[in-house]
Chain A
Amino acid sequence: RKEVEQDPGPFNVPEGATVAFNCTYSNSASQSFFWYRQDCRKEPKLLMSVYSSGNEDGRFTAQLNRASQYISLLIRDSKLSDSATYLCVVIVTGNQFYFGTGTSLTVIP
């Protein structure tokens, strides 16, 4: 079983739609979680951290479900500029960190 798994998509959604991605992880000792965004032929950029209590940044909401071992990213009111690949990152301990392979999102006019 992979340490981190993401549905690769692609997710094609119309502008204004709400879309959610999940990322499951296998190690219950995982401690830190992040979502990154990667545009085509660009480097990954940190989108937001994921806290146990959940956190929101504008149209983006990240949540952690420790019982079911997954994190989620919710994007409300999708914009064309949200089109990108979204990567989850799970850190178990100092030297154990895992990137998901990414979920591709295309927002359609």
Chain B
Amino acid sequence: GAGVSQSPSNKVTEKGKDVELRCDPISGHTALYWYRQRLGQGLEFLIYFQGNSAPDKSGLPSDRFSAERTGESVSTLTIQRTQQEDSAVYLCASSFRQGGQPQHFGDGTRLSIL
């Protein structure tokens, strides 16, 4: 399809394990965003990329979280040594360019830490 694609759709893992979440943005979209949404809560901004650069990483909750983007396309969000409070839906969005354009979201990855 032509939309934002995220994988896996669901991930269940044990506390302490590392997880990697993937986002394929809409082709041609130079801006890419990661959000976290806990059940019943609003969107929590994590990080955005303009091209392959992340100008603002201040939204990442801790140093266990990291993200990268390559080829101005795919992005991965990595969570190391997962904790139960990391359980949430992780949403990725992309936009044609950063600033002024609406963001289009993927279906999200539902992460559950046991």
B43 near A: Cβ within 8 Å? yes
A66 CA / B104 CA spacing, docked (Å): 25
A95-B55 in contact given A31-B100, A32-B100, A43-B105 (Cβ < 8 Å)? yes
A43-B106 in contact given A87-B43, A94-B98, A95-B56 (Cβ < 8 Å)? yes
Please encode chain A, from 66 to 103, with 1 for each CB lying within 8 Å of some chain B CB and 0 for all others: 00000000000000000000010101011101011110
Most buried by A among B43, B89, B105: B43
Min C-beta distance of B35 to chain A, whole Å: 8
Query: Across the interface, do A94 and B42 meet the contact criterion of CB distance under 8 Å?
Result: no
Q: Which residues of A contact B108 (CB under 8 A)?
A: 43
Chain B contact residues, majority secondary structure:
loop
A34 near B: Cβ within 8 Å? yes
B28 near A: Cβ within 8 Å? no
Most buried by B among A43, A89, A93, A100: A43
Identity of the chain B residue whose Cβ is nearest the Cβ of A46 in the assembled complex: B102
Q: Which residues of A contact B107 (CB under 8 A)?
A: 42-43
Identity of the chain A residue whose Cβ is nearest the Cβ of B105 in the assembled complex: A43
Identity of the chain B residue whose Cβ is nearest the Cβ of A45 in the assembled complex: B105
Query: Across the interface, do A102 and B42 meet the contact criterion of CB distance under 8 Å?
Result: yes
Query: Across the interface, do B42 and A95 meet the contact criterion of CB distance under 8 Å?
Result: no
For the complex with contacts A42-B107, A100-B42, 7 further pairs of A-B residues with Cβ separation under 8 Å are: A31-B100, A43-B106, A45-B105, A93-B99, A94-B98, A94-B99, A95-B98
A–B pairs, 13, beta carbons within 8 Å: A31-B100, A34-B102, A43-B107, A43-B108, A44-B91, A45-B105, A46-B102, A89-B103, A91-B99, A93-B99, A94-B99, A95-B98, A99-B42
- Which positions in A face B, CB cutoff 8 Å? 31-32, 34, 41-46, 49, 87, 89, 91, 93-95, 97, 99-102
